[in-house]
Structure 1
Amino acid sequence: MLANFLIGLREGLEAALVVSILLAYLVKSDRRKLVGRVWVGVAVAIVISLGFGAALTFGPRGLTFAAQEGIGGSLSIIAVGFVTWMIFWMARAARGMAGGLRDQVDRAAETNSWSLAVVALLAVGREGLETALFLWAATEAAARDTGATTNPLLGAALGIVVAIVLGYLMYRGAIKINLTRFFTWTGAFLIIVAAGVLAYGIHDLQEAGFLPGLNTLAFDISRIIPPSSWYGTLLKGIFNFSPATTVLEATAWVCYFVPTMTIFLTRVRARTHSQPRPATPVPASTGRTRP
């Protein structure tokens, strides 16, 4: 539930930031009449995201077991790709997001004001589609192993609600969040979560018969961490950890996690060192010369 809460919080905060920046800039630039068009774009994006989530949930139910597993595994891997791209993009673009959006608003207002609806639709819709895909993968994993389908959705919903509140407070100027630090910490955590989703997707493809090695285990610690125990359920719900993991699952997890986390931390460290430091004040000259 914690992992899905952070997914909802992070994706929801990205969308809330976009909307709050658009609205604040329109108000400050005396373009209040265009505010409604931003909300039109947001509403359309929400409807599309919900429709996409419904299609993922109810679409594959009439298929065979192998087809369901194949689709589930493939979509899980696609979700990992989208989330990984989102993590790196947001870590890079957080500092300059406001300036880029203001430029888009100016161009849209000068050409076709309905373009603002498209800007909001694309920005919010992208986050919504990524969230729907990733949450679907997490919900399928939880339903398969614990039978619970509401906990992932409840966690994500709580995260989105918190994100909306934070977005509103930032719009009102009540709080300020260090976005670079926020997206760095959540990005590192979500890389761990994404590695678990990737391993689960590989397992689905093995069960569907598309990949070999279903019975070749790298380790089986089910006696130490029973899947039905509270800590087994917690590890599964947050990290998609399976006590009985195949060699191919473990290989996929390591091959994704190690290079991805290394590149992410390296880029974060490089951006931190490249930030300009405040100049050291130079004492004023007294007009005297040294002997």
Structure 2
Amino acid sequence: MTANYLIGLREGLEATLVVVLLMAYLMKTGRGHLLPRLWAGVGVALGVSVGFGALLTFGPRGLTFEAQEAIGGTLSVAAVGLVTWMVFWMARTARTLGSELRSHVDRTAGGAGWGLAVVAALAVGREGLETALFLWAAAQAAGQSATPLFGALLGIATAVILGILLHRGVLRVNLGIFFIWSGAALIVIAGGVLAYAVHDFQEAGILPGLHHLAFDVTAAVPPSSWYGTLLNGTLNFSPATTWLEAGAWLLYVPAVTYFYLRSHRRVRASANVAAVRTAAAS
């Protein structure tokens, strides 16, 4: 549940910030009459995301076990790829997100303003589709239950509340710090999803080594125990892990974490250089 709460909070907060920024800019520039267009775009994005999640959940049913495992593994790899791209994209563009959205509003707010609905739908829909896919993959890795969905909805609800408080000026949060550490946590979670994708491919017979275990600590960490459930829910940890699963995790998590943190350092260094140049010019 903790991992899915973080996924819902992180993705929900990104989408909420987009909506808050668009709302604030419309009100500031005297375009408040376009707010219904904005909410129409948000509604379309939410509907598409929910439909995509339902398709993922109910679509593979009726197929053979091997086909379901192959589809599950493929979608899990796609989810890991999307989340990896997302955390790096946010690291690069977090500082300029507001200005980019304002420029989109200025280009699309003319006429009836339906272009703004498209901007909102694309911005929020991207986060919604990523969330649906990654939550589905995380739920597969943790085992089917209502807990993943509940945790995610709780995280999204928290994000909406934070967005409302930010919009009203009641709350101030260091979003840079939040996105850095939540991004690092998502990389670890994605590593567990990737390992489970390898397990799916092994179950489907696409990859070998299903019975070649790197370790088996089931006796010490029973899957049904509270700590086994906690490790599975937060890190997608499997007490019986094959060599290929362990290798995928070890190849992904340390390398991606290194480049992710280095990307943040470069962005901060570039921002500091720009600030120094601006101060010198003034």
Smaller-chain TM-score bracket = over 0.9
Normalising by structure 1, we get a TM-score of 0.91
Decide which structure has the larger Cα Rg and report it.
1
In 2, are the aligned partners of 1:4 and 1:155 still within 8 Å (CA)?
yes
* Preserved CA contact (<8 Å) 1:4 1:153: yes
Q: Does residue 1:182 correspond to 2:178, yes or no?
A: yes
Could you list the runs of 5+ residues in structure 2 that have no partner in the other structure?
Answer: 277-282
Measured in 2, the distance between the counterparts of 1:231 and 1:279 equals: 47
TM-score, normalised relative to structure 2: 0.94
Secondary structure of the structure 2 residue equivalent to 1:219: strand
Structure 1 segments of 4+ aligned residues over 4 angstroms from their partners: 277-280
Instruction: Give the equivalent residue in structure 1 for 2:142.
Output: 142
2:38 is matched by which residue type in structure 1? V
- 1:169-205 Cα shifts (integer Å, max 9, x gaps): 1111222222211110000001000000000011011
Whether 1:251 and 2:241 are equivalent positions in the alignment is: no
Task: Give, as a single letter, the amino acid of the residue that structure 1 aligns with 2:128.
Answer: G
| Cα RMSD for the two superposed structures | 1.6
- By how many angstroms is 1:33 displaced? 1.1
Q: Is the 8 A contact 2:223 2:229 kept in 1?
A: yes
Residue pair 1:217, 1:246 contacting (<8 A) in 2 also: yes
Query: Which residue in the other structure is 2:220 paired with?
Result: 224
Q: Which residue of structure 2 aligns with residue 283 of structure 1?
A: none
| 1:169 corresponds to | 165
Structure 1 residue 113 displacement after superposition? 1.6
For 1:155 and 1:73, the matched residues in 2 are separated by 23
8 Å Cα contact 1:5/1:158 also seen in 2: yes
Q: Does 1:45 align with 2:45?
A: yes
Amino acid of the residue matched to residue 70 of structure 2?
Answer: G
Q: What is the CA–CA distance in structure 2 between the aligned matches of 1:267 and 1:111, rounded to whole Å?
A: 40
The aligned counterpart of 1:16 is 16
SS, match of residue 242 in structure 1: coil
Matched, 1:153 2:149: yes
Asked if residue 94 in structure 1 is aligned to residue 94 in structure 2, the reply is yes
Deviations 1:123-168 (A, max 9, x none): 010000000001111112222xxxx511111110000001011111
Q: Say yes or no: does 1:5 pair with 2:17.
A: no
Residue pair 1:95, 1:179 contacting (<8 A) in 2 also: no
Which of 171, 186, 200 is the equivalent residue of 1:204? 200
- Relative to 1, partners in 2 of residues 1:35 and 1:234: Cα closer, same or farther, differing over 3 Å? same
Query: What is the deviation of 1:275?
Result: 3.5
Comparing 161-170 with 106-115, which one deviates more in the overlay? Answer: 106-115
Give the AA of the match of 2:262: T
Corresponding residue for residue 232 of structure 2: 236
Amino acid in structure 2 at the alignment position of 1:201: A
Asked whether the equivalents of residues 221 and 227 of structure 2 are also in contact (C-alpha less than 8 Å), the reply is yes
Q: Tell me, in whole angstroms, the C-alpha distance in 1 between the residues paired with 2:274 and 2:125.
A: 39
Structure 1, 56-65 or 224-233: larger mean CA deviation: 224-233
The Cα of 1:279 is off from its aligned counterpart by 8.9
Q: CA deviation at 1:270?
A: 2.6
* Cα deviations by residue, 1:238-291 (Å, 9 ceiling, x for unpaired): 1111111101111111111121011011122233344328999xxxxxxxxxxx
Secondary structure at the counterpart of residue 245 of structure 1: strand
Unaligned runs of at least 5 residues, structure 1: 281-291
Distance 1:164 1:23 in 2: 14
Count of aligned positions? 276
One-letter amino acid of the structure 1 residue matched with residue 130 of structure 2: E
Give the whole-Å Cα distance in 2 for the aligned partners of 1:112 and 1:67: 47
Q: C-alpha separation between the residues in 1 aligned to 2:131 and 2:187?
A: 15
Aligned to 1:286: none
Aligned partners of 1:15 and 1:51: how far apart in 2?
18
**% identity of equivalent residues:** 61
1:125 alignment counterpart: 125
Residue type at the aligned position of 1:150 = A
Look up the equivalent residue of 1:131 and give its one-letter code: T
Q: Distance in 1 between matches of 2:274 and 2:240?
A: 53
Spell out the pairing of 1:258-273 with structure 2 (5 A cutoff): 258-273=254-269
Task: Give the drift of 1:95.
Answer: 1.4
